[in-house]
Amino acid sequence: MKKRNLFLLAVIALVLITSVAFAGGQQEGGAAATDGPKVIGFSQCDSQQAWRWAETESVQNEAKVRGYELKYNDAQAVQANQIAAVRSFIAQGVDGIVLAPQVMTGFGPVLQEAKDAGIPVVLVDRLVAENEDLYFTFIGSDFVWEGERMGEIVAEETGGKARIAELQGTPGADPTIDRKKGFENIINTYPDMNIILSQTGDFNRTKGKEVMEAFLKAEGENIDVVYCHNDDMAIGAIQAIKEYGKVPGKDILVYSIDGIKDAFQAMVDGDLNAVVECTPLLGPQAYDALEAAWRGETLPKWVMSEDGIFLQKDAASVIASRKY
């Protein structure tokens, strides 16, 4: 009988030791050591401009650094494609989803499906107008802040007197709504600062040029400033101003948001007057957030990016250090 008890004790001890060893071998984020790499679905809204390419690269490169398998989908600026991509990621049973939503509305049902499937969703660079419970966190800039800082710069550099043409971003997108709101928060306090023309250029360089051409045709002699919701549209507008026969940065002051390298070059060239940064380098933070979700932790519903302000006089000393 004694030998039998000793044998049983030895078996129990062996089971305990191996189970502790196995648990210690778990990958970060709670997956069992025997699981393969974490699989992440990344739904990108489009790939139409430099800022977006930089964001995509940040998410893709960091996945490689962390050993994740990344499933990437470019929705080509069609929200229905994004919803279908997220639905497909859910069906594939990914461990996490990174979503850069084209617009604020319409994502509720598919986010609910991800929640029901127990898959954390991290929003990057644009927010959705849905219940906060439907996403783990939003990682992105404060667009109202960006618009307000630009409004202050324009007021400062024009002495509070300007007829302004505005190139808006994608209709219904969080940055478009809030960059307009922030800019108006400031210029509406100046009686002689007025937006005389405002139209979407869809954050796109070509469309930005086309809309600026139309603005110049209509009011070319009455535009003092063009406020662009992103650098790509500003670069298109600069081309249009030159072809119209005016000097961008002097005859018509040009201001934009993002901080891509081409914008710094445009400031060095004297064509662009100031930039408020909006970093696209969100990959590391997106994965930090997913890893927190896998550990069962919570994060604030908004992890705000830190952005800088750059005047034309700063550009030459900064351009070499720009990462995107």
The residues that touch ligand GZL, with contacts defined as CB under 6 A, are: 49, 51-52, 125-126, 140-141, 175, 203, 230, 232, 257-258, 278
What is the closest distance, in whole angstroms, from the C-beta atom of residue 302 to ligand GZL in the complex? 13
Q: Which one, 158 or 204, has the nearer CB to ligand GZL?
A: 204
Distance of alpha carbon 65 from alpha carbon 282, whole angstroms: 14
Residue whose CB is less far from ligand GZL, 203 or 310 = 203
What is the nearest approach in angstroms of ligand GZL to the Cβ of residue 106?
Answer: 16
Q: How far is the CB of 20 from ligand GZL (least distance, A)?
A: 45
- Closest contact distance (angstroms) between CB of 279 and ligand GZL is 9
Measured from the CB atom, the residue of 125 and 130 that comes closer to ligand GZL is 125
CB of 145 to ligand GZL, least distance (A): 12
SS (H, E, C) the chain: CHHHHHHHHHHHHHHHHHHHHHHHCCCCCCCCCCCCCCEEEEEECCCCCHHHHHHHHHHHHHHHHHCCEEEEEECCCCHHHHHHHHHHHHHCCCCEEEECCCCCCCCHHHHHHHHHCCCCEEEECCCCCCCHHHCCEEEECCHHHHHHHHHHHHHHHHCCCEEEEEEECCCCCHHHHHHHHHHHHHHCCCCCEEEEEEEECCCCHHHHHHHHHHHHHHHHHHCCEEEECCHHHHHHHHHHHHHHCCCECCCEEEEEEECCHHHHHHHHCCCCCEEEECCCCCHHHHHHHHHHHHCCCCCCCEEECCCCEEEHHHHHHHHHHCCC
Question: What's the min distance (Å) between Cβ of 29 and ligand GZL?
Answer: 26
Q: How far is the CB of 54 from ligand GZL (least distance, A)?
A: 9
Q: Among residues 232 and 262, whose Cβ is nearest to ligand GZL? A: 232
